[in-house]
């Protein structure tokens, strides 16, 4: 993701890359970020220290790196687009606190299409009513660490908010055994990890006689990056606060 952020940001025109940051002792520290991204050299080496000044940072890393990003942005007054998933409750609380000092967009999925789906799933569940069972299936590559995906949890949150279900208590994670019949009102949550799947999310609404499915398939990571770059440009100059992709896209 970091390499694609660099490559597509360099192509975007309005954005200038002033820093590329990774973990300390990264084996490619010191290598030009552009060359790492497969484009021309940018004169910006990969490092572990933050630039003196920047307008906005984009973070697609791991939960253990998110705290450092948040701290540096808050201390330096840098706006932040945070796309890292799998954050602990205390990390999410830290984002809320930092948003009192800087503008932040936090999203479990930066794709434009997925954020449209976020806006739809609760409305569909409410329109269909309680007779329709709801199952969420997410598929990702074999290396993804957190399960279920942050995107799948956001889909469930939106459905729960629209149908007055208790989140996350109504979630059933997979099923097994001889007595695994679904409970009325629960939402099934299923995670697939296989090969190099970029990301597939399906929300299934089923009742006696029919099934409705809403699906989103990511063909490459570029769609996440393009959404993040759109968010970064939107966020520059905004007042402190916690924003979402729905704000960026006018869906809020």
What range defines the domain where residue 85 resides? Answer: 2-106+221-249
Q: Domain with 92 in it: what CATH number?
A: 3.40.50.720
- Do 200 and 124 fall within a single domain? yes
Catalytic residue among 140, 190, 201, 216: 140
Q: pLDDT tens digits, residue range 199-229?
A: 999 999 999 999 999 999 999 999 999 999 9
Dump pLDDT digits (tens) for 5-60: 999 999 988 899 999 999 988 999 999 999 999 999 999 999 999 998 899 999 99
Give the chain's domain count.
2
The verdict on whether 144 is a catalytic residue reads yes
Contacts for 59 with CB less than 8 Å, ≥ 6 apart = 65, 66, 69, 80, 81, 82, 83, 84
Q: Measured between alpha carbons, how far is 97 from 6 in angstroms, rounded to an integer?
A: 28
**164 shares its domain with 239:** no
Nearest to 46 by CA among 12, 17, 81: 17
Whether 7 and 102 map to the same domain: the answer is: yes
Q: How far is CA 16 from the centre of its chain?
A: 23
Give the active site residue among 123, 141, 144, 219: 144
What are the angstrom distances between the C-alpha of 17 and each of 58, 171, 208?
11, 41, 54
Domain CATH code at residue 138: 3.30.360.10
Residue 224, C-beta contacts closer than 8 angstroms, at least 6 positions apart: 1, 60, 83, 109, 110, 111, 218
């Amino acid at each position: 993701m970091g390499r694609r952020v660099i490559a597509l940001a360099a192509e975007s025109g309005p954005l200038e890359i002033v820093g590329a940051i990774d973990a300390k002792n990264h084996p490619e520290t010191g290598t030009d970020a552009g060359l790492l991204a497969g484009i021309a050299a940018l004169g910006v080496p990969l490092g572990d220290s933050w630039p003196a000044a920047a307008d906005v940072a984009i973070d697609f890393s791991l939960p253990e790196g998110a705290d450092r990003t948040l701290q540096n942005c808050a201390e330096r007054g840098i706006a932040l687009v945070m796309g890292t998933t799998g954050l602990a409750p205390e990390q999410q609380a830290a984002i809320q606190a930092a948003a009192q000092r800087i503008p932040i967009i936090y999203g479990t999925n930066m794709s434009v299409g997925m954020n449209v789906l976020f806006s739809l799933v609760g409305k569909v569940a409410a329109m269909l009513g309680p007779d329709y069972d709801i199952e969420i299936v997410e598929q990702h590559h074999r290396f993804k660490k957190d399960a279920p995906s942050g995107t799948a949890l956001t889909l469930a949150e939106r459905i729960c908010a629209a149908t007055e279900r208790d989140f996350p208590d109504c979630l059933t994670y997979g099923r097994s055994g001889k007595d695994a019949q679904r409970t009325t009102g629960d939402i099934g949550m299923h995670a697939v990890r296989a090969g190099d799947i970029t990301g597939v999310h399906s929300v299934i609404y089923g009742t006696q006689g029919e099934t409705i499915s809403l699906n989103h398939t990511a063909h490459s990571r570029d769609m996440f990056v393009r959404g993040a770059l759109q968010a970064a440009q939107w966020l520059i100059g905004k007042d402190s606060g916690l924003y979402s992709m729905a704000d960026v896209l006018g869906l809020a």
